[in-house]
């Protein structure tokens, strides 16, 4: 048994509390990113997302008129599994602290819980953006394949504003996932709610006529659709802001309050 | 140093921890003893800032836990060895801890070695760990930041006898070098072997607290002599109770010192004399456990 294990320096004096700096945010961020990929389930999810992205690009290259295959259309195709599944990374990043009870350690090592949550949010966004960059890489490979094997025109034009809007949609969806995760604090419940609640909501709003006319203001899937087609306008931004407030900011805020108040056990 | 003052935690109408005050001193192992459900874990979570107290204060190293900067470098905590991600490897758990606390990663290998997890075991996922291995990993995580205070909830559960002995030596060494140790257990005998001070809790309230020797030593002794009959009379005359054992010898309420003096005065030669041990606390503890309908189960 080494003496260093019992918390003394070689001089035999304990470190003073004054000598310790608080845990910097950069370390929390590093840890939260690592936690998203250091379990088999976390890695498997990222692999599945990448595999689905690759798969969905195949018909994009093979089916349809060769003239219609452009880098932009392939990026659009590749983004759909990303937008659909990356929020789950955000959900699991949040819920595992309760579902797997790791919060006992996490919140003991960093009692400033709001910083942990912020690191989770930032970490999930960074992992999501990295995954989407990989998807763009896949789209580039598909584009090359299309020009070689199908003699497509090789239109590499990127509409940067449209790409930026897709990234924004991704950020909104992942943040929504984290919000649902910290609010519900249970993996299964949060995932099901994340996928079912907005759909149920859309069904209700489309059936009830006075709701359907204003749905774009509070239905996030309606509000984000102009982002994905890359042609959002002034009113579209306003609708997006309101819908995001309801579906992203509110769960994040309520979830944060719940995390700060709830007993960790 | 851990200071708990008038700590109370209520859940609705149920009082889990009821006006608990005690201090865990540096250089000593403080045993937090009580039957299951007595409030030990709740009190420990409150000390670690995880459970908000209804009233009262807790301090570690003179501050509320949540105000400690980088608390993992001051306080090593093991609250539940089972509370780890099943899909993570043991080594990865320590790496995450080291990254959070800012401890060099070389410490991870040293710690694995210290707690007796082999490199092969450290690479396995925690869902394949026995409870004993999880406890070792949890102890490792607690020691990783080289803290000066340890807070361990039922750390010997699931350890084999060799592991229990290892834990005792580890905690003894930690306290002897000036560290503060607070550990809980529902096993009286285990606590007797490890701790210097005892805090006994039942139904959320402290029922006894103090140095172990004074709590465990009930006044009284067992004595045999060449003339038990004379000694018996001498004891009774001096105001002590004394009963003759069927197999010879006496049980008396007098302490060994008083027995010796009385025997000298009476001119009786003693053949054996020993202090009663454990009876006071043991009976108190069994009363508590009986109330809960749960008997002490040996690990």
Nearest to B177 among A8, A103, A108 (CB): A8
Q: How many residues does chain A have?
A: 265
**Low-confidence residues of chain B: pLDDT under 70:** 217-218, 277-280, 289-299
- The reported pLDDT for the residue numbered A203 is 86
DSSP B73: G
User: Is residue B255 located within the same domain as residue B208?
Assistant: no
Judged by a CB distance cut-off of 8 A, whether residue B137 touches chain A is no
Q: Is residue B91 part of a domain?
A: yes
- Domain that residue B135 falls in: 2-212
User: Is residue B200 located within the same domain as residue B232?
Assistant: no
Greater model confidence, A115 or B296: A115
User: Is residue B266 located within the same domain as residue B143?
Assistant: no
Q: Which of B23, B56, B69, B6 is nearest to B180 (CA)?
A: B23
CATH number at residue B151: 3.40.50.300
- The reported pLDDT for the residue numbered B278 is 54
Query: What DSSP letter does each residue of B169-195 carry, written as one string?
Result: HHHHHHHHTT-EEEEEES-HHHHHHH-
A188: Cβ–Cβ under 8 A, 6 or more apart, which residues?
Answer: none
The DSSP bridge partners found for residue B221 are B252, B275
Is residue A42's pLDDT more than 70? yes
Residue carrying the six token digits 């979830």? A255
Q: How far are the Cα atoms of A132, A234, B36, B41, B91 from residue A101, in angstroms, in the given order?
A: 30, 44, 20, 15, 18
Is residue A161's pLDDT more than 50? yes
User: Is residue B21 located within the same domain as residue B118?
Assistant: yes
Q: Is residue B85 part of a domain?
A: yes
User: Is residue B38 located within the same domain as residue B66?
Assistant: yes
Q: Is residue B258 part of a domain?
A: yes
- Domain final residue, candidates B212, B234, B265: B212
- Domain final residue, candidates B212, B229, B257: B212
Q: Is residue B282 part of a domain?
A: no
Predicted-complex ipTM score = 0.87
The model's pLDDT over A177-231, given as tens digits with 9 standing for 90+, comes to 999 999 999 999 999 999 999 889 888 888 887 777 788 888 888 888 888 887 8
Q: Which of B101, B113, B51, B54 is nearest to B76 (CA)?
A: B101
- Contact call for A100 and B86, based on CB within 8 A: yes
Nearest to B79 among A7, A17, A104 (CB): A104
User: Is residue B94 located within the same domain as residue B48?
Assistant: yes
Interface test with B, best of A104, A113, A123, A187 (most B CBs within 10 A): A104
User: Residues of A near B (CB-CB distance < 8 A)?
Assistant: 1-8, 12, 14-15, 17, 20-23, 27-28, 30-31, 34-35, 38-42, 96, 100-105, 107-112, 261, 263-265
Q: Is residue B90 part of a domain?
A: yes
Interface test with A, best of B59, B96, B102, B103 (most A CBs within 10 A): B96
- The reported pLDDT for the residue numbered B299 is 36
What residue spans define the domains of chain A?
A: 23-260
Bin B19: left if φ > 0, else alpha if -120 < ψ < 50, else beta. left
- Contact call for B73 and A100, based on CB within 8 A: no
User: Is residue B118 located within the same domain as residue B164?
Assistant: yes
Judge whether B146 and A4 are in contact, CB under 8 Å: yes
Is residue A141's pLDDT more than 80? yes
Give the integer Cα–Cα distance in Å for A200 and A261.
Answer: 30
Give the integer Cα–Cα distance in Å for A51 and A46.
Answer: 9
Rg, Å, chain A Cα set: 22
Number of structural domains chain B divides into:
2
Query: What DSSP letter does each residue of A66-122 carry, written as one string?
Result: GGG-BHHHHHHHHHHHHHHHHHHHHHHHHHHHHHS-THHHHHHH---HHHHHHHHHH
User: Is residue B155 located within the same domain as residue B27?
Assistant: yes
- Helix and strand numbers (H, E) in chain A are 12, 0
Q: Is residue B280 part of a domain?
A: no
User: Is residue B183 located within the same domain as residue B256?
Assistant: no
CATH number at residue B269: 3.30.70
- The reported pLDDT for the residue numbered A9 is 40
Is residue A4's pLDDT more than 50? no
User: Is residue B204 located within the same domain as residue B235?
Assistant: no
């Amino acid at each position: 048994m080494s003496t260093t294990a019992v918390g003394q320096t070689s001089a035999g004096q304990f470190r003073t509390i004054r000598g310790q700096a608080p845990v910097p945010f950069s370390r929390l961020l590093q840890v939260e990113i690592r936690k998203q990929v250091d379990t088999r389930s976390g890695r498997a999810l990222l692999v599945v997302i990448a595999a689905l992205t690759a798969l969905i690009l195949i018909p994009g290259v093979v089916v349809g008129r060769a003239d219609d295959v452009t880098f932009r259309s392939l990026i659009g195709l590749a983004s759909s599994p990303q937008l659909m599944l990356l929020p789950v990374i955000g959900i699991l990043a949040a819920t595992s602290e309760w579902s797997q009870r790791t919060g006992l350690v996490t919140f003991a090592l960093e009692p400033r819980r709001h910083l942990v949550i912020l690191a989770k949010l930032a970490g999930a966004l960074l992992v999501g953006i990295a995954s989407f960059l990989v998807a763009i890489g896949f789209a580039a490979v598909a584009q090359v394949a299309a020009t070689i094997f199908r003699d497509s025109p090789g239109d590499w034009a990127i509409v940067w504003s449209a790409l930026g809007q897709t990234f924004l949609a991704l950020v909104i969806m992942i943040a929504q996932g984290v919000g649902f995760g910290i609010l519900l604090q249970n993996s299964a419940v949060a995932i099901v709610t994340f996928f079912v609640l907005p759909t149920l909501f859309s069904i209700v709003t489309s059936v009830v006529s006075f709701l359907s006319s204003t749905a774009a203001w509070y239905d996030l899937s309606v509000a984000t659709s102009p982002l994905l087609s890359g042609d959002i306008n002034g009113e579209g931004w306003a609708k997006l802001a309101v819908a995001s407030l309801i579906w992203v900011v509110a769960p994040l805020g309520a979830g944060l309050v719940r995390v700060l108040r709830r007993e960790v056990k | 140093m851990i200071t708990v003052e008038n700590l109370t935690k209520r859940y609705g109408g149920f009082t889990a921890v009821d006006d608990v005050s005690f201090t865990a001193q540096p250089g000593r192992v403080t045993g937090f003893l009580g039957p299951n459900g007595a409030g030990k874990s709740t009190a420990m979570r409150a000390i670690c800032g995880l459970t908000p107290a209804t009233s009262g204060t807790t301090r570690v190293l003179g501050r509320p836990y949540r105000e400690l900067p980088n608390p993992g470098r001051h306080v090593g905590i093991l609250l539940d060895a089972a509370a780890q991600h099943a899909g993570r490897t043991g080594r990865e758990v320590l790496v995450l801890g080291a990254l959070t606390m800012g401890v060099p990663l070389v410490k991870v290998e040293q710690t694995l070695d210290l707690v007796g997890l082999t490199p092969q075991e450290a690479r396995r996922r925690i869902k394949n760990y026995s409870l004993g291995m999880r406890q070792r990993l949890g102890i490792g995580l607690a020691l990783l930041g080289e803290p000066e205070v340890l807070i361990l909830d039922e750390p010997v559960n699931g350890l084999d006898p060799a592991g229990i002995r290892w834990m005792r030596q580890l905690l003894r060494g930690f306290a002897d070098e000036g560290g503060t140790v607070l550990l809980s257990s529902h096993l009286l005998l285990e606590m007797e072997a490890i701790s210097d001070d005892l805090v006994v809790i039942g139904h959320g309230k402290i029922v006894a607290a103090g140095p172990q020797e004074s709590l465990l030593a009930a006044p009284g002794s067992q004595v045999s002599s060449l003339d038990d009959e004379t000694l018996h009379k001498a004891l009774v005359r001096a105001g002590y109770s004394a009963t003759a054992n069927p197999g010879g010898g006496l049980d008396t309420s007098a302490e060994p010192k008083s027995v010796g003096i009385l025997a000298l005065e009476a001119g009786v030669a003693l053949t054996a004399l020993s202090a009663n041990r454990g009876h006071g606390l043991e009976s108190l503890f069994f009363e508590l456990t009986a109330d809960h309908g749960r008997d002490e189960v040996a690990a």
